[in-house]
Structure 1
Amino acid sequence: MEAAGAVDNLNELGAAAAEPSLPGPGGGSAKSVWDLLEEAAQMKTEGNAFYREKNIRSAIGRYHRALLVLRSLDSDVMASVKGFGPEKPPLTADQEAVLRNTQVDCYNNLAACLLQRQSVDHGRVLEYSLRVLQWRPGNVKALYRAGVATLEMGDAQAAKQYLSQACREQPNDANVRKYLHKAEERLNQELQKEKAMYRGMFPSSTKDSSGDGMNQNPRAGDGL
């Protein structure tokens, strides 16, 4: 659950980049892009602390708040509401990297939190994991959790695909290998059921009664 190298040097990067400030709500005090990125990073850090304390509800709340702050900076999100508010300055490459890294951590950590609940919403786990995979296709945590979620939702084939990719990225991970084995077992069970169903639909004929009994007691070497 540790952050994946996102925000250690926010203050240094912010001092080096003199970007315009974003208007505050209702025209109030403005916060710079770096201020908002740091605010989101702090909420994520608090969420991590709650998670380690097994306070899953509070951890989820912090991650959601962090993502809400980042939403106003995400060009992908804001493009859909262009023209309905003041234009925001484009992010620098450094700011974009911090934004994405924090989003990836928060969505990954939200998925981890949901898997800790007594009643797991696997659909939501999959949704959060797929958001990470949009930006980080080889992210092992997201691949693993997407595999677990799809397996529990009954799609063993998709689960095998996610978990196989995770296993290629991290072949020694015991949890990945465990769930990949479960997915393969589930697929094998489904295959056996399918074969049994077809056997019931098309029962084999008893004996070939076409005449001279040539197909009875064949010897090795008699050919096909």
Structure 2
Amino acid sequence: MSLNGLISTFRRMRNADEMLTAPSPFEQLRQQMNDVLGDGGILKQVVLPGEGPPVPQNSSVLMYYSGFLEYSDQAFDSTTHLKYPPMMKLGRDVTVAGLELGLLTMKKGEFSRFLFQPQYAYGDMGCPPFIPGAATVLYEVHVLDYLDSAQVDDVTAMSPEEQNTIPLSTFLDAVNTLRSFGNRFFNQSRYENAKDRYKQAITLLKNRELQSEQEKDNLKTAQLPLYLNLSLTELRLENPHKALKYGNKALEIDSANTKALFRCGQAYLELCEYESAQSCLISAQAKKPFDHDINSLLRKVATCYKDSLDKEKEFYSKMFREQRDPETV
């Protein structure tokens, strides 16, 4: 979907005479684009439509993008080389005015091209040495996902007293968005960032004053996946003691939760506490007898436990022999 091939074609076709008469690449693109604001400053071409509502104000957007000058095959700015593009917050991380306004017209999964006049891009000064003054620029943008983080910003900026005054549904929406941020970081192997988001969500839930038994149940329901996610994140960070702590907190909410039992089994295995690991995993197996992960980990624990007992037996046997047959001096 890159414009590189299109520009290369234009450049090959040009010769000295054509340069005087043929429209430029950007001029040809303009004929296929729609005017976003009505002033000609931002033109848009949808290459691949998206789904759902457009990107909200002040949200955080996960996207690939590339910026081009006319007649240039090389992007002056791009994230397409990144395995995990950054989650960029509107109003803070997106510094090109036209790009921010253009994103507000896009939907999840959409791929579009934009032409930005200088007043919506880098202005009369440009951005030397890469972008000359008064340059019109092309951006290709693919929105992978977005999170409505404006609500999170509003809630986290409140004092605990103020947070208690907002509707529970609004409060839990903010908590779930934080968990979604954590999940996004986790999937990118950014475990410290994921942990910070999960713990931030837990803190919000703990600070909420309970109004009724129903609200208490709703808050516990929201806490459970956060503790499970924290337990797994600590395992990835090689912190089995902390993983066990969060796994046990999940079990305090739901003592029969198979994921919590499995997490605790994993943590106990890392701590070489094989009997405790077996106990947790056997309890999990009773709930899900055909679960491949549970059964595989149980076999691993049994093997490690047997090896540990064999080594212990060998150690005591050797120690007994040395005491019975001391070396002669």
Shift, 1:109, TM fit: 0.6
Shift, 1:107, TM fit: 0.7
Asked whether 1:40 is paired with 2:175, we answer yes
The 2-side partners of 1:67 and 1:27 are apart by 16
Alpha carbons of 1:139 and 1:197: their partners in 2 closer, same or farther (altered >3 Å)? same
Match of 2:219 in 1: 99
Per mean C-alpha deviation after superposition, the further-off stretch among 185-194 and 108-117 is 185-194
Alpha carbons of 1:133 and 1:25: their partners in 2 closer, same or farther (altered >3 Å)? same
Match of 1:90 in 2: 211
The 2-side partners of 1:41 and 1:26 are apart by 18
Query: Pick from 243, 248, 256: which aligns with 1:138?
Result: 256
Matched residue type, 1:101:
T
Asked whether 1:113 is paired with 2:233, we answer yes
Match of 2:200 in 1: 65
Asked whether 1:158 is paired with 2:292, we answer no
The 2-side partners of 1:69 and 1:39 are apart by 9
Matched residue type, 1:97:
D
Match of 1:212 in 2: none
Alpha carbons of 1:37 and 1:26: their partners in 2 closer, same or farther (altered >3 Å)? closer
Query: Pick from 105, 123, 129: which aligns with 2:241?
Result: 123
Aligned residues: percent identity? 24
The 2-side partners of 1:189 and 1:58 are apart by 37
Aligned residues between the structures: 164
Match of 2:306 in 1: 188
Shift, 1:199, TM fit: 4.5
The 2-side partners of 1:131 and 1:66 are apart by 15
Spell out the pairing of 1:43-58 with structure 2 (5 A cutoff): 43-58=178-193
Unaligned runs of 5+ residues in structure 2 are 1-157, 323-329
Shift, 1:153, TM fit: 0.7
Per mean C-alpha deviation after superposition, the further-off stretch among 30-39 and 183-192 is 30-39
Alpha carbons of 1:135 and 1:161: their partners in 2 closer, same or farther (altered >3 Å)? same
Spell out the pairing of 1:195-210 with structure 2 (5 A cutoff): 195-197=313-315, 199-200=317-318, 201=320
Deviations along 1:143-199, whole A, 9 cap, x unmatched? 111111111112111011011111221222222212211211122223334444554
Matched residue type, 2:259:
K
- Larger helix proportion, structure 1 or 2? 1
Is 2:198–2:230's contact at 8 Å kept on the other side of the alignment? yes
Rg (Cα) greater in structure: 2
Is 2:251–2:260's contact at 8 Å kept on the other side of the alignment? yes
Is 2:160–2:207's contact at 8 Å kept on the other side of the alignment? no
Deviations along 1:97-129, whole A, 9 cap, x unmatched? 221111110010111222223xx0100000000
Per mean C-alpha deviation after superposition, the further-off stretch among 30-39 and 165-174 is 30-39
Alpha carbons of 1:91 and 1:26: their partners in 2 closer, same or farther (altered >3 Å)? closer
Shift, 1:130, TM fit: 0.4
Root mean square deviation, CA, Å: 2.6
Shift, 1:139, TM fit: 1.0
Alpha carbons of 1:33 and 1:26: their partners in 2 closer, same or farther (altered >3 Å)? closer
Spell out the pairing of 1:15-26 with structure 2 (5 A cutoff): 25=159
Alpha carbons of 1:131 and 1:26: their partners in 2 closer, same or farther (altered >3 Å)? closer
SS in 2 for 1:31: coil
More RCO (CA 8 Å, sep 6+):
1
Alpha carbons of 1:124 and 1:173: their partners in 2 closer, same or farther (altered >3 Å)? same
